[in-house]
Structure 1
Amino acid sequence: MAHMIGRFLALAAAFLSLATAADAHTRSESHTTWLVDGSSVHLTFSVSDLEARRLTSDRRPPNNPQLIAYLVPRLGASADGKACKLAGKPRPVAAVTGYRRVEFLFDCPSTEGIVLRDSAFFELVPTHVNLAQIQTVKGDFAEEVLTADAQTIDMSKAKGGEIEGAGLLTFVKMGIMHIFTGIDHMSFLLGLVLISRRFKDLIFVITGFTIGHSLTLALAVTGVIRPHAEFIDALVALTIALIGVENLAVQVQRPKLFALWTAGVLFAMAGLKLVGIGLLPFTLLLGAGLFASNYLMIAGYVRDAGRLRLVITLIFGLIHGFGFAADLLNEAIPPAKLAELLVGFNLGVEAGQLTVVTVLVGIVTVLRRLKLALPRPIVVDVGASGLILIGMYWFISRSFG
């Protein structure tokens, strides 16, 4: 027992610097909606409270005047090379829970050569992305992804009444970007690869995950269900920790011990909530503890857990689907584009996750053929320990942030 715990702590310590360096909100992003009406440009800028905390020294969300003061010099438009003037004062407006939203109005000197600009947060986080939605009064619609290397949108590229890049491929690109820039989702995929001893097992878990996130992505974007963003961020982190715990529990064949420890942590957090400490509801933490302990016990004693994991990863996929939808919930999606957006974004997510899984499996295959692969127990110990440490760090940070 002491040897097993000591081995876990030693391996987990190797990931300490990575976990503490990672921000609780692992994917830095914001949202903009631009409406171009002749020489007028209406802009709505949205950002999560977690992201906005980067602007203050005490890591608390800034007040509205602080946020607006930061955004004003970094957002704007120009026409024929001349800056568009800010018409009136920017004003904060209502947003979904956990987000901040500010509206701007710009008057341009011309209707020709309009260029939209957003440089907010890129100097703070070089990997920051802005998901921009552009509309015109004619009904044209497009989605663009702004990065540190591409902070402008040139409206003069419009051809035949449609902005260049609009359509299914734009939404596919958004889905791919969500996977490749989402460290938490990629970490979970790593856990799925680790737990799958056979290719058949990998098919089961990926299928369950796909069904789950596809369902809740559609429910969230169409407005059937609107979850609290901060709850989903925390639960996504918990799924990462749980997949790591399952890997270790199966590896050392001590599911009961890991089930008790996992339930104990979640029940303790539920107890703290009763005295007013923490963000997640008491019932959610209590239910998570009961689910996790029973899941680990069953997975540890079932001889062939592949089909069971299909059901479990379907449940985990439901949670991640709400995380995928966070990119889209803050945007006014035209009804005519809704089906195309859902199909394209989901295809992009699938392409991204299949790429990640294929690369991971390919690396393992090559290393085995070259006889450079480490024994599976060592790989699982190191990988699972890292997932537990990082997942719990993110979960606790997001639960008490």
Structure 2
Amino acid sequence: MRHLWVLVLLALSLGGPAQAHLASDSYLRIEIAGDGRISGQWDIALRDLDVAVGLDADQDGTITWGELRAQQQAVENYAFSRLTIARGAQACRLLPTTLMVDRHAGSTYAVLPFGAECPAEGEFSLRYRLLFDLDPSHRGLLTIDDRGVTTAEVLTPEHAEVALGRGPQGFVYRALQFLELGFDHILLGYDHLLFVSVLLVTAVFDRAGSTHLVPIDNLGRVVGETAKTLTAFTLAHATVLIPAVLGVINVPARLVEPAVALTIILAGLDNLRSILPRLRWQVAFFFGLVHGLSFASALGPMRLHPADLALALACFNLGVEGGQLALAALVIPTAFALRKEFAYRVLVVPVISLGAAALAGVWLIDRVFGLDILSLQPR
């Protein structure tokens, strides 16, 4: 019975965040010229700026170019008050130029090009504070082009200050940055986490007919099948993530995010009555293609060199896999211990499955119609 309460509490914690996490990332590119001059471009999602300064004046759920232009000064004041570039002990003066917009991974971003007036001597440094007070899970994806040498950093509340112009970081440092980014994206992306959880709670059963769950007696088989399912999910989103990051495919977020919610609904209902293919790894792979499009914003327009991009993609996907395995390490032992308990089969599995499907149904309506039934922003 103790195991049952552990799993119930875990289920409640997974379903707790009513707001599905739409990844909050900005893309900051700094170029250091041969003569030491600095210029940059900062791409910030309109949805994030809307929360921070209010862009949607008529509250119709759509941010127009006119609305953005009307708030240009507020946007620039907000953003550049949260970015400090210094040379030596003295801060540079950041000079915004022409406001533009662009699309990355299906979402619209304000593009803020800027120059900088800096002291003549000293080492460059950068401090980043955008959105951390509103969303601690926000990430700033920084690319530094120092006289033709490109490096990358992932900026977080714990890693908000970096030295510029120090040359390429070591392999291990770069790998760990993107491993952490992938790990965070699966554990902070509540919709992705909920989808994986729905798959895991029935991983300890075989099907007999469309509704009857038969406990599996071999733990090794459960672990092996679970690993296959999670790996299929990772391979699928890796398959679609690569062309999405390279810009070969660009599906609008207004289509991708509802589709992600739909995968949770179908997986939850399938736990109650079989409506999907029996082999869970096939379901995970097919739906993983959809989730991969949602992950694409994590690495979007960083414009890394091919070798660095390959490392970033590989480590990001390994981080996602690690997050999934960490969740499985929590769920599978408890589910296996409870698999023969009547209450687990007739109470816990249906409650988790129906609860996940219902919550995803609300997300689906929110994302299709923009009704804001629940706040979808990760704030």
Q: Distance in 2 between matches of 1:235 and 1:173?
A: 26
Instruction: Work out which of the residue numbers 379, 389, 399 in structure 1 matches 2:358.
Output: 389
Alignment correspondent of 1:68: 76
Structure 2: how far apart are the matches of 1:124 and 1:170? Answer: 22
* Residue 179 of structure 2 corresponds to residue 172 of structure 1: yes
Question: Hey, what's the Cα distance between the residues in 1 that align with 2:25 and 2:362?
Answer: 20
User: Which segment is superposed worse, 42-51 or 178-187?
Assistant: 42-51
Residue aligning to 1:279: none
Q: 1:36 to 1:241 in 2, by over 3 A?
A: farther
**Which residue number corresponds to residue 329 of structure 1?**
300
- Distance across 2 between alignment mates of 1:187 and 1:378: 18
Change (3 A) 1:357 1:114: same
Q: Deviations for 1:88-147, whole angstroms, at most 9, x for unmatched residues?
A: x333234115221222222221452322122111122233222222331241312x2222
Mapped to 2, the partners of 1:35 and 1:166 lie a distance apart of 21
Query: What residue in structure 1 maps to residue 5 of structure 2?
Result: none
Cα deviation, 1:273-308, whole Å, max 9, x if unaligned, reads: xxxxxxxxxxxxxxxxxxxxxxx2x55xxxxx1x2x
- Looking at secondary structure, tell me which structure has more strand per residue: 2
Residue 43 of structure 2 aligns with which residue?
46
Q: Give the conservation status (yes or no) of the 8 Å contact 2:21–2:189.
A: no
Give how far 1:166 is off. 5.0
CA separation in 2, counterparts of 1:127 and 1:342? 20
Alpha-carbon distance in structure 1 between the residues aligned to 2:120 and 2:328: 49
Q: What is the SS of the residue equivalent to 2:247?
A: coil
Structure 1 SS opposite 2:257: helix
Aligned to 1:399: 368
Check 1:383–1:228 CA distance in 2 against 1; reply closer, same or farther (3 A cut): same
Provide the aligned length of Structure 1 versus Structure 2: 328
Q: Which runs of 5+ in 1 are unaligned?
A: 1-10, 251-295, 300-304
Q: What amino acid sits opposite 1:70 in the alignment?
A: Y
Q: CA deviation at 1:318?
A: 0.6
**CA deviation profile, 1:39-75 (whole Å, cap 9, x unmatched):** 4332322233333321328576461414223212112
Retained in 2: the 8 A contact 1:122–1:128? Answer: yes
Give 3-state SS (helix, strand or coil) of 2:273's partner. helix
Partner of 2:126: 116
**Secondary structure at the residue paired with 1:329?**
coil
In the TM superposition, structure 1's runs of 4+ consecutive aligned residues that sit over 6 Å from their partners are none
Aligned to 1:28: 24
Match of 1:107 in 2: 117
Contact 2:86 2:125 in 1 (8 A): yes
Amino acid at match of 2:82: R
Instruction: Answer whether contact 1:80 1:110 (CA < 8 A) is retained.
Output: no
2-side partners of 1:77 and 1:372: how far apart?
60
Give 1:211 deviation, angstroms: 2.8
Query: CA-to-partner distance for each residue in 1:165-215, whole Å, 9 max, x for gaps?
Result: 753333222222222221221111101102322515434432432331121
CA contact (8 A) 1:27 1:183 kept: no
Q: Contact conserved, 2:132 with 2:138, CA < 8 A, in 1?
A: yes
Q: Is it true that 1:182 corresponds to 2:178 in the alignment?
A: no
Q: Contact 2:127/2:160 (CA < 8 Å) preserved in 1?
A: yes
Separation in 2, partners of 1:374, 1:31? 48
Task: Work out the CA distance in 2 between the residues paired with 1:70 and 1:180.
Answer: 29
C-alpha spacing 1:194/1:220, structure 2 compared with 1 (3 Å): same
Do the aligned partners of residues 242 and 155 (structure 1) sit closer, same or farther apart at CA in structure 2, a change above 3 Å counting? same
Residue matched to 1:226 = 250
Cα displacement (A) at 1:24:
5.0
Comparing both structures, which one devotes a greater share of its residues to helix? 1
8 Å contact kept, 1:25–1:50: no
Question: Which residue in 2 is equivalent to 1:214?
Answer: 238
User: Partners in 1 of 2:229 and 2:195 — Cα distance?
Assistant: 11
In 1, Cα distance between equivalents of 2:29 and 2:18:
29
Query: Against the structure 1 CA distance between its residues 206 and 36, is the aligned structure 2 distance closer, same or farther, given a 3 Å change threshold?
Result: same
CA deviation after TM superposition for structure 1 residue 319, in Å: 0.8
Judged with a 3 Å threshold, the aligned counterparts in structure 2 of structure 1 residues 326 and 152 are, in CA distance, closer, same or farther, namely same
Within 5 Å, give how 1:271-350 maps onto structure 2: 296=275, 299=277, 305=278, 307=279, 309-350=280-321
Q: Say which is worse superposed, 21-30 or 228-237, in terms of deviation.
A: 21-30
Q: Give me the TM-score of the superposition, normalised by structure 2.
A: 0.76
The alpha-carbon distance between structure 1 residues 387 and 106, as it changes in their structure 2 partners (threshold 3 A), is same
* 1:375 aligned residue: 344
Q: State the match for 2:168 in structure 1.
A: 162
Q: Secondary structure at the match of 2:99?
A: strand
Shift of 1:363: 4.3
Distance 2:86 2:92 in 1: 5
1:162: how far off?
2.0
The gaps in structure 2 that reach 5 residues or longer are 1-7, 206-215, 217-221, 371-379
